[in-house]
Amino acid sequence: MILSSSALAEGNSPLFSSSAIGFQQINSLKVNMSNTSEIVDQQQTTNVSVAIVGGGLAGMSAAWELFNAGIRSLVVLEGNDYVGGRTFNRVHSKINYLEMGGTWVGATQTAVLELAQQFGIQTKDGKVDGPTMYGYQNTWTVIERLPDEHSSLAQQDFAQISAKFELLSQTVSVEAPWTTPNAIELDHITAGDWIAQNTTTAEARTWIESRIRHRIAGNLNQVSLLFLLYFIRTRDTGFYSFQWDETAYRLIGGTHTITLKIAERLGDRVRLNNRVRRITDYHSDGVCLTTDQGIIHAKYVIVAMMPKDAGKIHFNPPLPEHHQALIDGWQQTSWIKFYTIYPRPLWWGKVESGHFYCMEPQIEVFDASPLDGSHGLLIGFFDPKYSYLDETERRSLAMEALSKIFIAEAAHPDEYVEIDYNKQAWTGGCVAALPPGLLTQSGHALREPVGRIYWAGTERSMRWMNYMDGAVRSGQYAAQQILSRMTLT
Ligand SMILES: Cc1cc2nc3c(=O)[nH]c(=O)nc-3n(C[C@H](O)[C@H](O)[C@H](O)COP(=O)(O)OP(=O)(O)OC[C@H]3O[C@@H](n4cnc5c(N)ncnc54)[C@H](O)[C@@H]3O)c2cc1C
């Protein structure tokens, strides 16, 4: 099976708001069965050592880790008609490609950087010029510097609450956040309530909430404070460096290239359009998976996806209480990503920065134009609350905001492209968070296997959870868990 980047990136899945190019090319790709002796007949029964459910970065990293450890008898079962999950390219005739999911890589996100390096994928500078500008009632402010005598009350307020976050997050254990001192107390207050209690100005409250909301998407009045502190801790660079450490680099060719390259190496072990509907008998000497293309018998299975997405699979026997509670309880909402494309970066030399948090409407915007200025490119994110609007309405909102943030001409791009993960059937979100109480009650089940089922997906990572790096680490971790068990048996 040839999984060329262009073929896989050209699709017109329900995710895309425009483009008439279909996936016929990919759908017509038939799995070549000749190279994998374990795979007998895709419509009937397949026997493998390890079945991986989900061909996102987590699942493909798990498969690659196992493959490199000598496990050839494996299969990746992906429900979509492309690998990559929340990282995939859309081919663009003028600017080559648009990354429709994960885009930036931080300097300390070494797992994803090393994986990219293995495949010769080069990085380029991802940083945006100028300080981050925060809007509030039509005024733009820089708040990420330590306050001095000229700072406003709101800037000082922002600095003090950021410092509190930093201090508190240092007390959280990344391996076992439920053992943090005062864990129960921290887990039973919402991040929103805690922020309200620890700020004195509405501006600082708005700024901090918008900065956090972008990373975890959830409504902070429904997110556990302990979860938020744990999330900050898994970033391992703390709170102050919230931006720069996560936008240091971009990958040349797009982040999708990683999973495409792995898929090329794995060949017919990757099966697209192959949703797993049921996972049964996982306590016996093997696991049975019912998929759209037949039955798989595996010694072990890795479920590699958002916990909430795993809830769409039927498990028999039912999962233990705490595992099921995690699947049911993870929130899953999504910022809506959009691009605007211009003949050149019209705003260069006219605005102070290339990174803005706009509060009305609530969007975050990055200038992603290439250094040579050969075209202008903005990447924006709408708050999930705008999901109820249709694309035309959101586009108008974006144009209004861009003309305020940049220059009037920014409201007239050559093209507007958007993607709403809230509308996607098999990856129902962008990043995720936990409500109060769940981390202390069921957190211990995050990475705990159930019989022969192992878990991956960025949400289960001990480092850089919710990021691509976390996805890679979670996949590698699950693969290592299985390899250790294989050694013992
Ligand atoms: C718009 C957006 C922007 C982002 N920006 C960044 C960024 O700049 N930097 C960063 O580090 N991270 C970013 N992220 C987050 C990053 O993309 C994710 O953390 C990462 O890609 C998650 O990978 P994963 O493998 O854990 O999950 P996924 O990518 O969700 O993979 C899960 C896979 O499982 C498949 N699946 C689900 N159910 C089934 C089933 N029953 N049977 C078979 N297959 C199934 C899905 O189709 C999917 O392919 C962004 C995410 C989004 C959506």
Q: What is the pLDDT of residues 410-447, one digit of tens each?
A: 999 999 999 988 777 777 777 889 999 999 999 999 99
Check whether residue 17 and residue 159 sit in a common domain. no
The residue with tokens 């000082």 is: 156
DSSP string of 266-306, one letter each residue: HGGGEESS--EEEEE-TTSSSEEEEETTEEEEEEEEEEES-
Check whether residue 227 and residue 268 sit in a common domain. no
Nearest to 432 by CA among 421, 423, 447, 419: 421
d(C-alpha 363, C-alpha 380), whole Å:
7
Q: What is the CATH number of the domain that holds 222?
A: 1.10.405.10
Q: Which residues pair with 123 in a beta bridge?
A: 251
If pLDDT is split at 50, 70 and 90, which confidence band does 266 have?
very high
Query: Which atom of ligand 1 is nearest the CA belonging to 421?
Result: 53
Q: Among 204, 226, 246, where does a domain finish? A: 246
Residue nearest to atom 37 of ligand 1 (CA): 426
d(C-alpha 74, C-alpha 265), whole Å:
13
Check whether residue 184 and residue 261 sit in a common domain. no
Q: What is the CATH number of the domain that holds 278?
A: 3.50.50.60
- Does the pLDDT of residue 31 top 60, yes or no? no
Q: At what angle do helices 110-118 and 468-488 cross, to 10 degrees?
A: 80
d(C-alpha 479, C-alpha 267), whole Å:
19
Percent share of the chain, pLDDT over 90: 70
Query: Which atom of ligand 1 is nearest the CA belonging to 82?
Result: 49
- Domain presence at residue 285: yes
- Domain presence at residue 262: yes
Check whether residue 10 and residue 150 sit in a common domain. no
Check whether residue 140 and residue 195 sit in a common domain. yes
Probe residue for ligand 1, chosen from 16, 89, 305, 365 as the CB with the greatest number of ligand atoms within 8 Å: 305
Question: For the chain, what's the residue count?
Answer: 489
Check whether residue 19 and residue 57 sit in a common domain. yes
Check whether residue 236 and residue 153 sit in a common domain. yes
- 86 in contact with ligand 1, CB cutoff 6 A: yes
- 471 in contact with ligand 1, CB cutoff 6 A: yes
The residue with tokens 């159930």 is: 450
Domain count of the fold of the chain: 2
- Does the pLDDT of residue 9 top 50, yes or no? no
19 lies in which domain range? Answer: 5-87+253-319+450-488
Q: Among 202, 217, 246, where does a domain finish? A: 246
Q: Which residues pair with 303 in a beta bridge?
A: 53, 455
pTM here? Answer: 0.91
Query: For residue 307, what is the DSSP state?
Result: H
- Domain presence at residue 114: no
- Domain presence at residue 369: no
Out of 166-170, 215-219, 417-421, 476-480, least confident range:
215-219
Check whether residue 269 and residue 241 sit in a common domain. no
- 304 in contact with ligand 1, CB cutoff 6 A: yes
If pLDDT is split at 50, 70 and 90, which confidence band does 372 have?
very high
Q: Among 246, 264, 279, where does a domain finish? A: 246
Probe residue for ligand 1, chosen from 76, 86, 419 as the CB with the greatest number of ligand atoms within 8 Å: 86
Question: For residue 25, what pLDDT is reported?
Answer: 26
Average pLDDT along the chain: 87
Distance 426 CA to ligand 1 centre (A): 10
The helix (H) or strand (E) run that includes residue 456 is strand 453-456
Check whether residue 148 and residue 202 sit in a common domain. yes
d(C-alpha 400, C-alpha 410), whole Å:
9
